A and B are shown apart, each in its own frame.
Chain A
Amino acid sequence: MIEIKGLYKEYGKGAKALTDINLEIPQGQFAVLLGPSGAGKSTLLRSINGLVKPTAGEIFVQGEPVHDLRKLENVRRKVGMIFQQFNLVKRLTVIENVLCGRLAHSNCNVWASCLKLFSGQDIDLALHCLERVGLERKAYQRADQLSGGQQQRVGIARALAQCPNIILADEPVASLDPKSAEKVMAALQSIKEQDQITVVVSLHNIELATRYAERIIAIKDGVIVIDKLANMLSTSDIEHIYDTAVDLVEEEFDCNQVAYVHA
Chain B
Amino acid sequence: MRKLTCFSFRLSVPWRSGAMVTMKRLVLILFIVVVYIWSAAGTHLSISELVKGLPQLADIIGRMLPPNLEILPRLVNPTIETLQISIWGTTLAIFFTIPFGLLAARNISPHPLLYKFGRFVLNATRSISELIFALVFVAAVGLGPFPGVLALAFHSVGMLGKFLADSIENIDPGPVEALLATGANKWQVIAYAIVPQVLPEFITLCLYRWELNFRSATILGIVGGGGIGFELITSMRLFMYPDMTTILIVILGMVSVVDYISSYVRSKIL
Number of B residues whose C-beta is below 8 Å from A? 21
Q: In the complex, identify which listed stretch (A85-93, A196-204, A214-222, A238-246) lies at the interface while the others stay far away.
A: A85-93
Asked if A89 and B188 make an inter-chain contact with CB atoms under 8 angstroms apart, the answer reads: no
- Of B175, B187, B188, B190, the residue contacting A88 (CB under 8 A) is B175
Asked if A103 and B174 make an inter-chain contact with CB atoms under 8 angstroms apart, the answer reads: no
Q: Which residue of A lies closest to B194 (CB)?
A: A89
Asked if B175 and A87 make an inter-chain contact with CB atoms under 8 angstroms apart, the answer reads: yes
Asked if A103 and B193 make an inter-chain contact with CB atoms under 8 angstroms apart, the answer reads: no
Asked if B192 and A73 make an inter-chain contact with CB atoms under 8 angstroms apart, the answer reads: no
Q: In the complex, identify which listed stretch (A1-9, A76-84, A254-262) lies at the interface while the others stay far away.
A: A76-84
List the A side residues contacting B179 at CB < 8 Å: 100, 103
| Closest chain B CB from A157 CB (angstroms) | 12
Task: From known contacts A83-B177, A110-B188, A114-B187, infer whether A89 and B197 are also in contact, taking CB-CB under 8 Å.
Answer: yes
Task: From known contacts A87-B174, A92-B196, infer whether A51 and B181 are also in contact, taking CB-CB under 8 Å.
Answer: yes
**Contacts between chains A and B (CB distance < 8 A), count:** 84
Q: Does chain A have a CB within 8 A of B269?
A: no
* Binary per-residue interface labels of chain B (159-187) against chain A in the complex, 1 for a CB within 8 Å, 0 otherwise: 00000000000000011011111111101
Main secondary structure of the interface of B (DSSP, over half): helix
Complex CA gap A51/B176 in Å reads 11
In the complex, the 9 A-B pairs of residues with the closest C-beta atoms, listed nearest first: A104-B183, A76-B183, A87-B178, A77-B183, A87-B174, A114-B191, A103-B184, A81-B181, A91-B196
| Closest chain A CB from B173 CB (angstroms) | 9
Task: From known contacts A89-B192, A89-B197, A91-B196, infer whether A104 and B174 are also in contact, taking CB-CB under 8 Å.
Answer: no
Complex CA gap A50/B179 in Å reads 13
Q: Which residue of B lies closest to A96 (CB)?
A: B192
A-B pairs with beta carbons under 8 Å apart, 15 shown: A51-B177, A73-B184, A76-B180, A86-B174, A87-B178, A89-B193, A90-B175, A91-B196, A91-B200, A92-B192, A104-B185, A110-B188, A114-B187, A115-B191, A162-B183
Which residues of A come within 8 Å of B, CB atoms? 49, 51, 72-81, 83, 85-92, 96, 100-101, 103-104, 110-111, 113-116, 155, 158, 162
| Closest chain A CB from B202 CB (angstroms) | 13
Q: A49-B181, A90-B175 are in contact. List 6 more A-B contacts (CB 8 A).
A: A77-B182, A91-B197, A100-B192, A104-B188, A116-B191, A158-B178
List the B side residues contacting A51 at CB < 8 Å: 177, 180-181
